[in-house]
Amino acid sequence: MLLQHSESPKKEKSSSPVTKEELGRATWTFLHTLGAQYPDKPTRQQRKDVKELMAILSRMYPCNECADHFKEVLRYLVYELSREQ
């Protein structure tokens, strides 16, 4: 785990630059912005790119708990999408 907890009782010097909450807010902003500009009819390359980005994010997200949570969400979405097709 690379993050510090925001509930930490005293401010100690940490190698961790941001809290889980700060990282979460920044990442949600990024993901919502990406979603807003994503085309209604994506090309094959755009579909491939977004799939890879999500897979990499779920592996490299610098908060282990959040990365595990994200993997669960992605598994659920893949399952739901496969049922729709």
Ligand X SMILES: Cc1cc2nc3c(=O)[nH]c(=O)nc-3n(C[C@H](O)[C@H](O)[C@H](O)COP(=O)(O)OP(=O)(O)OC[C@H]3O[C@@H](n4cnc5c(N)ncnc54)[C@H](O)[C@@H]3O)c2cc1C
- Smallest distance from ligand X to CB 14, Å: 18
- Smallest distance from ligand X to CB 20, Å: 6
Measured over the CA atoms of residue 35, residue 42, residue 67 and residue 82, the dihedral's sign is: positive
2, 63 contact by CB (below 8 A): yes
- Smallest distance from ligand X to CB 15, Å: 20
**DSSP 8-state symbol, 7:** T
Binding site for ligand X (CB under 6 A): 20-21, 24-25, 27-28, 65-66, 69-70
**DSSP 8-state symbol, 19:** B
Question: CB-wise, 42 or 53, nearer to ligand X?
Answer: 53
Measured over the CA atoms of residue 61, residue 64, residue 66 and residue 71, the dihedral's sign is: positive
Which residue sits closest to ligand X, CB atoms considered?
24
Question: CB-wise, 14 or 73, nearer to ligand X?
Answer: 73
